[in-house]
Amino acid sequence: MLCGMLGSLAAFYHDDLNLDDPEQRRMAAIRLLAKVPTIAAACYRHSIGWPGRYPRNNLNYVNRFLHMMFEVPSEPLELNPVAAKALDLLFILHADHEQNASTSTVRLVGSTGANPYACVAAGVAALWGPAHGGANEAVLKMLEEIGRPEDVASAIDRAKDKNSGFRLMGFGHRVYKNYDPRAAIIREMTHKVLAELGVNDPMLEVAMRLEEAALKDEYFVSRKLYPNVDFYSGLIYKALNIPTEMFTVMFAIARTAGWVAHWLEQQIDPEAKIGRPRQIYTGAAARDYVALDKR
């Protein structure tokens, strides 16, 4: 829904967009930062049959988003400052992360001179598959599946067994081969949020035991498999009542800042060229034509 709506914004703001005008580029960037959380919250409310909520100008970015997500007509919404701080932190930590699949996609589409709304819609499309941005959802599923702290040891054994097909979700990173610095910050915030909101989540206990056991285990230590940012972020989202299906959307809201910054940077780069990845053909040098009825 978010991807489709963003694509349609390209039509909504079509006429007045001159990409050579810095003021218009700035305006497009601001619109994207403002519209993505509004559209995301509208998608959520639509999905559960609630009427949409307009953004409140007197609230800051995260509180406005929480308001659009959870406000109901029958009573005022109590906005918890710790919840807002945690969400702010998650948004900041996820804002940008060099050339991941979605950011590269935004830049590749942007390199053609495409409308910025279409570029960001393409970034959202790159998040569609489970391999990018879906890990925190997978972490929660895994923790639920493990279920009890006393079953952590057998989960560790299964993760080490190559034939089991089971990996510890939220552990390891293609780029960070040491502790993900973002994970240390989120770990602390996870504890604060759960203490403040009074969420007594057995999954947190499973998560803590799992982390402790893996950090001591030779298999994980020798392969430098440390908890990554996704290990904790799902627990915070869960405590904030963000439904699991929205986790990747939350990632898209945060990453919009990075995508937009990349897009803006690209527009003023005098050496920018259209993206053109090369390929090396490794197929057959020659293949004879065989008529259809002879195949």
Ligand X SMILES: CC(C)(COP(=O)(O)OP(=O)(O)OC[C@H]1O[C@@H](n2cnc3c(N)ncnc32)[C@H](O)[C@@H]1OP(=O)(O)O)[C@@H](O)C(=O)NCCC(=O)NCCS
Catalytic positions are 173, 230
Q: For the chain, how big is the Rg over CA atoms in Å?
A: 22
CA distances from 182 to 13, 254, 260, 261 (A): 36, 14, 21, 20
Q: Is 251 exposed, middle or buried (0-12, 13-18, 19+ CB in 10 A)?
A: buried
Q: Tell me the window of 48-56, 67-75, 225-233, 235-243 that interacts with ligand X (CB under 6 A).
A: 225-233
In the complex with ligand X, the residue whose CB is nearer, 65 or 226, is 226
232 binds ligand X (CB under 6 A): no
Question: Interface with ligand X includes 223 (CB under 6 A)?
Answer: yes
Nearer to ligand X, 194 or 225 (CB): 225
Residues in the chain: 295
Place of tokens 């390209």: 10
Burial of 278 (0-12, 13-18, 19+ CB in 10 A): exposed
Alpha helices by DSSP H, the chain: 2-12, 22-47, 61-70, 81-93, 101-110, 116-126, 135-146, 152-160, 181-196, 202-216, 218-222, 229-239, 247-267
225 makes contact with ligand X (CB under 6 A): yes
The window from 220-228, 232-240, 269-277, 286-294 that contacts ligand X (CB under 6 A) reads 220-228
Least Cβ distance, residue 230 to ligand X (angstroms)? 5
Asked whether position 167 contacts ligand X by CB under 6 A, the answer is yes
Q: Give the nearer residue to ligand X in terms of CB position, either 207 or 225.
A: 225
Q: Which candidate, 92, 107, 98, places its Cα nearest to that of 175?
A: 98
Tokens for 97, please give them: 């992360």
d(CA 134, CA 84): 22
Q: Give min distance, CB of 89 to ligand X, in A.
A: 17
Is residue 248 a contact residue for ligand X (CB under 6 A)? no
User: Is 186 one of the binding residues for ligand X (CB under 6 A)?
Assistant: no
Given 230, 238, 242, 260, the residue binding ligand X (CB under 6 A)? 230
Q: Tell me if 170 contacts ligand X by CB under 6 A.
A: yes
- Binding of residue 137 to ligand X (CB under 6 A): no
Among 32, 66, 120, 135, binds ligand X (CB under 6 A): 135
The verdict on 169 binding ligand X (CB under 6 A) reads yes
Q: Which residue is nearest to ligand X (CB)?
A: 172
Binding window for ligand X (CB under 6 A); candidates: 37-45, 76-84, 162-170, 250-258 = 162-170
Strand-pair partners of 227: 171
Closer Cβ to ligand X, 45 or 167, answer by number: 167
Q: CA 266, CA 157: separation in Å to the nearest integer?
A: 47
| Binding of residue 168 to ligand X (CB under 6 A) | yes
Give the footprint of ligand X on this chain (CB under 6 A). Answer: 135, 159, 167-174, 223, 225, 228, 230
